[in-house]
Amino acid sequence: MEINGNKKSESGENELIDIHHVVAADVITGANKGIGLETARQLAMIGVTVVLTARDEKRGVEAAASLQEMGLCNVVFHQLDVLDPHSIASLAKFIEGHFGRLDILINNAGTLEVRVDEDALRDLKMDPATWLSGKAANLVKGVIRTTKEKAKECLNTNYHGCKRVTEALLPLLKLSTSGANIVNISSLRGELRHIPSEQIRKVLGGIDTLDEEKIDGMLERFLKDVEQGALEANGWPNMLPAYSISKATLNAYTRFLANKYPNMRINCVHPGYVRTDLNWNTGTMTVEEGAKGPVMLALLPEGGPTGCYFDQIEKAEF
């Protein structure tokens, strides 16, 4: 397997680096397109051995082939559906058999799970600032809808899916010789300031008091309120509520995990407003720009920050 790559030296010259001894393998979930695929490309370019995963075998094989055709022979494909425990177990077995350990895990797979009238959304001609500030919540009410089933699917992928994959791969991450890096791809929608309820903010923002039961309990309350049409009354986010809560809980889980495993670097990141299928290609940034934060966090050296939230490449408030 080719493991050498190029990086820019301080003088701007390309120099060859060999990081094979440092990074045995990097797993990226949901990497057949969008930010995941570009993150795979950027990491493979500097010599990291990338296990590109996708839930759909054909889409994943094609994506891996597109990188291999660029000369990136250090990219291998393995199927992974974050909703399917068998698929996750099969990936863990593959990593164990081929690499013996895991140095980097990027939990990128994500979904909005909403019903959208795309034409009506386009007709709103919403500018990015309005969209990002969340002021659009009322405008999009008739255009973007959610149901309890869709909300469940969203939480199941973005929060439980990340947790499932992480738990299955933790035994291999613990074997990393330099302390593994885990990167959870979050969103600014998950920032606590977007949650009107002070009580919910307090629970999810608690550093020493946070545990998995509290996070799961919060999600049960959320789903009950979706069913009873009580989201607004109980202070849940107005804009893309299920997606926002899935990312807020993902951030909380990141903190919890970082406390539990101080030898690793475990962080979450908002990649920016990136033009991908997730936002019907309304984003303003390219995938190249969007992958910068995930790549930076994947390569954090020993002693680097952990338990932090980044807005692209800058540390930010949860």
Ligand X SMILES: NC(=O)c1ccc[n+]([C@@H]2O[C@H](COP(=O)([O-])OP(=O)(O)OC[C@H]3O[C@@H](n4cnc5c(N)ncnc54)[C@H](OP(=O)(O)O)[C@@H]3O)[C@@H](O)[C@H]2O)c1
- Collapsing DSSP to helix, strand or coil, 260 comes out as helix
Contact 42, 120 (CB under 8 A): no
Percent helix / strand / coil, the chain, rounded to 5: 45, 15, 40
- Collapsing DSSP to helix, strand or coil, 296 comes out as helix
| Mutual angle of helices 57-68 and 34-45, in 10-degree steps | 30
Q: Give the separation between CA 54 and CA 153, rounded to whole angstroms.
A: 17
Q: Give the separation between CA 84 and CA 89, rounded to whole angstroms.
A: 9
CB of 9 to ligand X, least distance (A): 30
Considering the candidates 243, 253, 273, 309, report the single residue annotated as catalytic.
Answer: 243
- State CA 33 to chain mean position distance: 13
Q: Give the separation between CA 27 and CA 107, rounded to whole angstroms.
A: 8
Query: Would you give the end-to-end CA distance of the chain in angstroms?
Result: 39
CB atoms within 10 A of CB 34: 22
HSE of 145, CA atoms in CB hemisphere, 13 A:
8
Q: Which residues bind ligand X (CB under 6 A)?
A: 29-30, 32-36, 54-56, 59, 80-83, 108-111, 157, 161, 185, 187, 270-271, 273-274, 276-279, 283
| Beta-bridge mates of residue 79 | 54
CB of 303 to ligand X, least distance (A): 27
- Residue 273 annotated among the catalytic residues of the structure: no
Residue numbers annotated as active site: 243
